[in-house]
A and B are shown apart, each in its own frame.
Chain A
Amino acid sequence: MRPVYLVSGGVSKFAKARPDVTFQPMVKEAYDYALKDVGISQKRFTEIADGSVASYFSDHFQRQLMSGIMVQDYLGLCPKPSHRVEGGGATGGLCLQEAWKAVASGYMDVCVAYGFETMSHVQTWKGNEFIALASDVSFDYPVGGFYSGYYAMMVTRHMKEYGTTVEQMAAVSVKNHMNAYHNPYAQKRDRLTIADVRNSPMVAWPLTRRDICVMSDGAAACIVASEDGLRKLEKAARTTFKPLVKITGIGRGTDAMRMADRPHLQVPLFPWEEPYQDLKYPGVHSFRAGRTASIQAYRHAGITNPLEQIDFVELHDAYTSSEIQTYEDMGLCRYGEGGPFAASGAAFLPNVDYGLDFPGEVGKCPVNPSGGLIACGHPVGATGLMQAVFALWQLQGTVKKHFGDGKLQVKGAKRGAIHSHAGTGTYVTVSILQRA
């Protein structure tokens, strides 16, 4: 496999609704930003780009099949090769990895990964119905038809199994909303307290509205290149790009669509991890796909101690509970310790005031310094790419330039992990980005 660089990226401002544009110009906003950031005109870039991967989740939200090609032609990328990738909430993460594959394999030198979702075409509750169609329509959808309900069931098991508390979950919400306060791209930029989170309307016990991400219209784009591609882009930009960011680890995993079908087995261990006694794994309290993806990505990137060797993580916090579950899957702590880890301060940014007291070291490994899905919004096909763009800016040290506020910059960040997650843990991707 050839070395692969994440060269540039752009994100549209995520919003509840973008009635001012259809999806194509929304992607173009992100795409133009990515091109402008490396100082290459569209005309010149089109000459260099070898192709693209398109990412959007729902044909129900779109009510426009083949939307990918409509973006491709709007961006002027026809007749170059392209395909759409779809894997629920992980669609964006899969898209970035497909672009990585295209470049790593030698098929392309410069590949564009673009994604979007327009969720404002229907009311929120109809939107929940559309999303719930990503559960078994024979056995799951007709009973509950509600993703927040599925995640709530998983966390009641997590609470029963490990003693995780709603206050620990609320700490995640406070953190991500407060981080987003400094991120102009985010949809929900709010200063909250633990009480605010708990007192907001109950959606699916014990998850309140502030434990759950929101629906969005939004787009994101990434430019991925080989060393040869990088040289072509640098030549076009008449400059050398510094610092460079490489994609050094790729991992993916899967699990059964129906939560009811998740087996009770042993934990697939990291090489450094002690075995677990009497833990029925994954059950519904853990994401086997997330663990599988993490094992692969860490092995690929040579990571042997994630908490020490990863400077920040952008992970798929569709729910505060799933952020806690994911700490464990990604080995930031052991299974069962996700709740205390959430409240310890380790995942918070050291120079942001959250109004919370922490028992431990603050900022050991900031998680969702951007605000994550909960606060940035979750326009599904764009989300995984948004994480890549925000991680790129962290590693370049350019957060201040892009956000107009350097508060969220993780000082001296050299390595970041991004994690994209579908269904109730059906497809999960983990990618490692590293300053070259």
Chain B
Amino acid sequence: MAKTKAQAKVKAVKPALVVDDAKQEESLEGTVLYNVPFPKDLKQLKGMAPIIIKHPYHIDYVHSYGQDSPFFAGLANKKLLATRCPKCGYTYATPKLHCMWDGAECNWVELPETGTIHCFTVCHFGSEEFLKETPFILALIEFEGANTRFLTRLIGFDPNQASLDWIGMKVKPKFKRLSKFKPTDVYFVPA
């Protein structure tokens, strides 16, 4: 489209969308670094120490237990549940909805009232979330009639007296009265 004389004239005078003395509002939040040394000679910039900043990174994450939800409902009702394949009878002490051998959908069953320690460790350090709980004892528990094992915390053993003799000892589950809907709603103690 051909420009009219009037349009050309307006543009030449003043670009209406541009503001003089433009400035972004500043805030006092976040990282504030005062007074960074800066050389006059740009060649010296390669010798500059790195600028290292720290900033928080928090998220609330929504996690569904999905098909495993009945297990956590079980813990809240003082029941330790496993899943069992209707076809081959393979029993998962840590629940799996589908059997890894034949793909069939498993049924929920209760585990026996006692189990034995399959292996264990005493954690003197941990990830940040659990650091305040150290030292704590982790163990895999095996059950009569179950083919896989269950990871849990052991209570009632002295963490400073760790011994291979703990392996094979009989233990029983105890349930927290106030469910947090975590696998730690159950823990094991000497039977």
Interface residues of A (CB under 8 A from B): 19-20, 63, 123, 125-126, 128-129, 131-132, 137-140, 142-146, 148-150, 152-154, 156-157, 159-160, 201-207, 256, 258-264, 284
Most buried by B among A132, A140, A154, A204: A204
Interface residues of B (CB under 8 A from A): 50, 52, 57, 63, 65, 68, 92-94, 96, 100, 118-131, 136, 138-140, 147-153, 162, 164, 167-168, 182-184
Least CB separation from B57: chain A residue = A63
In the complex, besides A138-B65, A139-B151, A153-B140, 12 extra interface pairs with C-beta distance below 8 angstroms are A126-B127, A128-B125, A143-B184, A144-B130, A144-B136, A148-B125, A156-B119, A156-B121, A157-B118, A204-B121, A204-B124, A260-B94
- A203-B125 contact, Cβ under 8 Å, with A142-B183, A260-B149: yes
Q: Are A160 and B140 in contact (CB under 8 A)?
A: no
Q: Are B123 and A261 in contact (CB under 8 A)?
A: no
Could you say which residues of chain A place their CB within 8 Å of the CB of B150? 260
Could you say which residues of chain A place their CB within 8 Å of the CB of B94? 139, 258, 260-261
Could you say which residues of chain B place their CB within 8 Å of the CB of A140? 151
In the bound assembly, the distance between CA atoms of A262 and B130 in angstroms comes to 25
Q: Are A204 and B52 in contact (CB under 8 A)?
A: no
Which of A129, A207, A263 is in CB contact (< 8 Å) with B127?
A: A129
- A261-B92 contact, Cβ under 8 Å, with A143-B153, A149-B121, A160-B164: yes
Could you say which residues of chain A place their CB within 8 Å of the CB of B126? 125, 128, 144-146, 149
Q: Say how far B99's CB is from chain A's closest CB, in angstroms.
A: 12
Q: Are A160 and B119 in contact (CB under 8 A)?
A: yes
Least CB separation from B52: chain A residue = A19
Q: Are A153 and B120 in contact (CB under 8 A)?
A: yes
Could you say which residues of chain B place their CB within 8 Å of the CB of A264? 147
- A205-B162 contact, Cβ under 8 Å, with A128-B128, A146-B123, A263-B148: yes
Q: Are A142 and B184 in contact (CB under 8 A)?
A: yes
In the bound assembly, the distance between CA atoms of A138 and B68 in angstroms comes to 9
Q: Are B130 and A160 in contact (CB under 8 A)?
A: no
Q: Are A205 and B119 in contact (CB under 8 A)?
A: no
Least CB separation from B69: chain A residue = A138
Least CB separation from B121: chain A residue = A152
In the bound assembly, the distance between CA atoms of A156 and B138 in angstroms comes to 11
